[in-house]
Structure 1
Amino acid sequence: MMRTLGFVLLLLLASGLAFALGWNQRDQRVPPPPPPEAADSPALDSLDARAARLRGALERLAPPSPEEENSLRRPRTPNYRVHLGWADSLGVQPLASEAELGRHLASGALVPLVDTEFYVVRTLEHSKPFTTPALRESLAEAGRRFQAELARSGLPPYRFSVSSALRTADLQADLGRRNRNATSGTSSHEYGASVDIVTFRYAYASSPQDSITVDVADPHLDRANRLLVDTYTEAARSRWDHLYGALARALGSMQRDERLVVLLEAEQPVFHVTHRIPGDLDRSDPDSD
């Protein structure tokens, strides 16, 4: 009897060991599910949908109409003397030395002009990245108006590009030697109250709000977000004329509100903008040559 019971227990133990070994081998035989292929990636599907919406939104965003452009060109927009008058009134006096620049920065009469959520400052070859506080605030307001139209059109918050700011007399003279279209004599840039904004360059900066998110694990998610930045950047290059339309409308509204004087230059692809204050029609008369 005891021998039979021992045999049964031994048999049960052997069966349990065999079952456990077989289960472990089963786990080893069944590989984990493979990662989804690109064709099955929710993140890349979302990227394709975003790209299609971006193209459609840019196409619907109107380039500037002839009326919108002409209102910012001579003879309908204030002439350059008006820019000089406002710059002389609201800016600093032209700089004779770097020491003067330091004093203006210390007093707060001039402030650094750096990249913000509304605009980027390109590498400046013939000017310095400084401006008056009031002009810097007006640029931010122009950026808010620009991005507001983009948001209404379902577009991300592109930023416009500043290409020129404060110039010393030496920098202005050097520019004149290199560029025959540069202003001869005193420039409104020398007062720190004017900047140039490029018509065809727009920058995209990624943000968490714009990122692609998916509800499942997707190994292509990081790649999709990198490609999304590339997609937005390339769209700004290929459809810049539509973004230019929104910027022209934003700057036009700033001019109508007497916050800026705006000149869409004929020889250079830039808006020349100068800070102003409301009122004082004598200084803002476009026919005051």
Structure 2
Amino acid sequence: MTDKRDIRHSNQRFTRYHFLLVFWGLVAFLFGIKLLFPEWASRQIESFTQSARDAVSQADDSVTVHSRSEDSLFLAPRRNPIWLTKDGTPVKNRVTSVPTFDEAFPDLNDVQLATASKIGIQSCQNREEATRHGSKLVFIGDSPYYIVKPLAHSIPYLVPRAATLLEEISRSFLDSLTTKGIPFHKLIVTSVLRTEEDVQRLRRHNGNASENSCHRFGTTFDISYNHYFRVQDPALPPQVETWAVTLKSILAEVLNDQRKRGTCYVKYEVHQSCFHITAR
């Protein structure tokens, strides 16, 4: 004989049939609401969609989180290098460079582009449009720490974060020269902010130039590793430049330190003879 408790338990079980019945019932109910009150339903759907958009826009992605963490590094006071040893003689550190340039600076354009498009300005069609972003850009054409070569396919402007990075790299390079007993040489910046028209003109002459250039966002600059500006002492006869290979090695040390700190991406460009640098 079947136990009455088993029969009662079987009758109370929620089966797949019951689930489908409830599900389609809810769908029919909501569809009826949409038909009877279309304006109210549309407002509710739009409100829900906007809330979802807001949640996505407010969520901290990896680029935003990292850029906030770097703010403390950029704003912190610079540490003065140690110029003298304990006995008062000038410090003379040796040049170490990096094992290989390709391995030390492997950050491809796609990696840099993801950050540049996030923290930079919107790309500009032409230079007239770029002037409208003046409040978001910093003029970098006049600095005691580096030289900007005459520019044909870019203009000397960067977003503040990138301008600060460029100055920090340049000052660290000068400090490193001093601690290694090497005469002052300024870095030479070869490319900065490009408009869409600049990119197209450049591509006519340089097949290696990328159409999706990070330079369009004001976050990126190029520094030559073959040419430097020798700072002359006016009280002395003209001084010769230090061998470029030595200066390149010291610049690589500085960039490697900055990259490890997370302040920038760096790509070693063989054909353009430069380091391609994007602020983070």
Normalised by the length of structure 2, the TM-score is 0.63
2:214 matches 1:188: yes
| 1:69 maps onto 2:75 in alignment | no
Aligned mates of 1:252, 1:160 — CA distance in 2: 16
Shift of 1:64: 3.3
Equivalent of 2:120 in 60, 72, 91: 91
1:149-228 equivalences under 5 Å are 149-183=176-210, 185-206=211-232, 212=235, 225=236, 227=237
Cα gap change, 1:88/1:61 in structure 2, threshold over 3 Å: closer, same or farther?
Answer: same
Per-residue CA distance 1:148-201 (angstroms, 9 max, x = gap): 211111223311100001111111011111011111x22100111111110011
Find the counterpart in structure 2 of residue 26 from structure 1: none
Aligned-residue offset at 1:79 = 1.7
User: Which residue matches 1:270?
Assistant: 274
Q: Which moved more, 1:133-142 or 1:95-104?
A: 95-104
Summarize deviations over 1:106-151 as a string: whole Å, max 9, x none: x2x1111113222100001111111111111101111122112111
Distance (whole Å) between structure 2 residues aligned to residue 98 and residue 155 of structure 1: 39
CA contact (8 A) 1:84 1:187 kept: yes
Distance 1:137 1:127, change over 3 A: same
> Partner of 1:81 in structure 2?
110
Cα distance in 2 between the residues matched to 1:97 and 1:170: 6
Kept in 2, the 8 Å contact 1:68–1:249? The answer is: no
Tell me: CA distance 1:253–1:172, structure 2 relative to 1, closer, same or farther (3 Å): same
In the TM superposition, 1:1-289 aligns within 5 A as 62=95, 64-65=97-98, 67-73=99-105, 77-105=106-134, 107=135, 109-183=136-210, 185-206=211-232, 212=235, 225=236, 227=237, 230-231=238-239, 234-236=240-242, 239-276=243-280
Query: d(CA) in 2 for partners of 1:116 and 1:251?
Result: 19
Amino acid at match of 1:85: A
Query: Runs of 4 or more off by more than 4 Å in structure 1?
Result: none
Contact 1:164/1:196, CA 8 A, preserved across alignment = yes
Greater Cα radius of gyration, structure 1 or 2 = 1
Q: Counterpart of 1:235 in 2: which secondary structure? A: coil
Q: TM-score, normalised by structure 1?
A: 0.61
Identify the residue that residue 59 of structure 2 maps to in structure 1: none
Which amino acid letter does the alignment assign opposite residue 95 of structure 2? A
Tell me, in whole angstroms, the C-alpha distance in 2 between the residues paired with 1:136 and 1:148. Answer: 18
Whole-angstrom distance in 2 between the partners of 1:152 and 1:102: 41
The residue type paired with residue 190 of structure 2 is S
RMSD: 2.2
- In the other structure, the counterpart of 1:13 is none
**Count of aligned pairs:** 190
Query: Please, which runs of 5 or more residues in structure 1 have no aligned partner?
Result: 1-59, 213-224, 277-289
* Paired letter, 1:267: H
Preserved CA contact (<8 Å) 2:126 2:197: no
- In the alignment, is the contact (CA less than 8 A) between 2:161 and 2:279 conserved in 1? yes
Q: Percent identity?
A: 29
Work out the CA distance in 2 between the residues paired with 1:261 and 1:121: 20
Q: Residue 133 of structure 2 aligns to a residue in which SS? A: helix
Between stretches 163-172 and 146-155, larger displacement belongs to 146-155
Which amino acid in structure 2 is aligned with residue 164 of structure 1?
S
Corresponding residue number in structure 2 for 1:47: none
Alignment partners' CA distance in 2, 1:99 and 1:110: 14
